[in-house]
Amino acid sequence: METLIKFKDLTVESLKNHKKLIIGLYVLFIICFIGGWILSADVVNSALNSTVPSNGTQLNSEINALDLFIHNEAGGILTYVASLFFAIPAVVMIIFNGANLGAAGALFNSLMPHGGLRYVIYLIPHGIFEITATVIQSAAGILLFLFILGFVRSAISKDTDGVSQAFDKNKKVLIHSIILMIFSTILLLIAAPIEAYFSVPFSDFIMNLL
């Protein structure tokens, strides 16, 4: 119980201390999502110009929660580790995921009646957790790079007495980075079953009401 309380306190502290970074990455994701949708619309329409959209097209509900979690978590861990290289992969992941999801929206909008609206409704239940996890993973990756950068700077500084002191000066950033990665994993654990078993029926239910 004490461990859970300490983890909760560290999570709140990590989110508060780096909220500007997290909000900034969220804004970048939203811009890329909207941009991906708008810029892909003409391309998708041109590609499907000679094709009659099928009214029977459906969002895929034949997905497994465990496979979804493993796929998303593996991508997050890879991005986290790769962010050691100047944090570039962390930013690229946000841009790619935002643009890719936006492009998918444009595709569904062309293939299905009210497909764009259906797609957004489908994204909402699990996206609240999954997209937030993606943003936090990127933030964690950036913090990992900042820890390495701060550690190296401290280690070569004349004001620091050895590697141990250099680590002590920067370990808080590393702790926040690891805590945010753990928190993102929890969010992905929540998102996976929602996406696998709830999001499609939910979007169908809402669309039937409209």
Distance between CA atoms of residues 185 and 128, nearest Å: 14
> Is 102 within a domain?
yes
**Owning domain of residue 21:** 7-37+87-209
Q: Given phi > 0 = left and psi -120 to 50 = alpha, else beta, which region is 101?
A: alpha
Is 159 a member of any domain? Answer: yes
Position 43 scores a pLDDT of: 76
Helical residues (DSSP H) of the chain, grouped into ranges: 2-17, 19-47, 65-82, 88-111, 115-156, 162-197, 199-209
Band (158; pLDDT cuts 50, 70, 90): confident
Domain assignment of residue 74, yes or no: no
Residue 143 has pLDDT above 90, yes or no: yes
Which pLDDT score is estimated for 1? 80
Residue-wise over 67-104: b if at least 16 C-beta within 10 A, else e?
ebbeebbebbeebbebbeeebebbbebbbebbbebbbb
In this prediction, residues 77-102 reach a mean pLDDT of: 96
Q: What is the mean pLDDT of residues 162-182?
A: 95
End-to-end alpha-carbon separation of the chain, Å?
46
Is residue 161 situated within a structural domain? Answer: yes
Name the amino acid, one letter, at 177.
Answer: S
pLDDT at 50: 53
Closest by CA position to 98, among listed 47, 138, 140: 138
What is the DSSP code string of 115-167?
Answer: HHHHHHHHHHHHHHHHHHHHHHHHHHHHHHHHHHHHHHHHHH-TTS-HHHHHH
Instruction: Evaluate whether residue 201 is within a structural domain.
Output: yes
Distance, CA of 193 to chain centre: 16
d(CA 208, CA 201): 10
For residue 174, is it within any domain?
A: yes
Average pLDDT estimate for 17-41: 96
Q: 80 in a domain, yes or no?
A: no
If you average pLDDT over residues 180-198, what whole number do you get? 97
**Contact between 143 and 17 (Cβ < 8 Å):** no
pLDDT averaged over every residue in the chain: 91
Q: What is the mean pLDDT of residues 124-151?
A: 97
- Is the residue at 123 inside a domain? yes
Say which residue, 55 or 183, is predicted with more confidence.
183
Q: What is the pLDDT of residue 48?
A: 62
The domain tally of the chain equals 1
- Choose from 3-7, 51-55, 155-159, 171-175 the range with maximum mean pLDDT: 171-175
- What proportion of the chain, given as a percentage, has pLDDT over 90? 80
pLDDT at 204: 92
Task: Examine the pLDDT at 53 and tell me if it is beyond 60.
Answer: no
Residue 113, sorted as left (phi over 0), alpha (psi -120 to 50) or beta, turns out to be beta
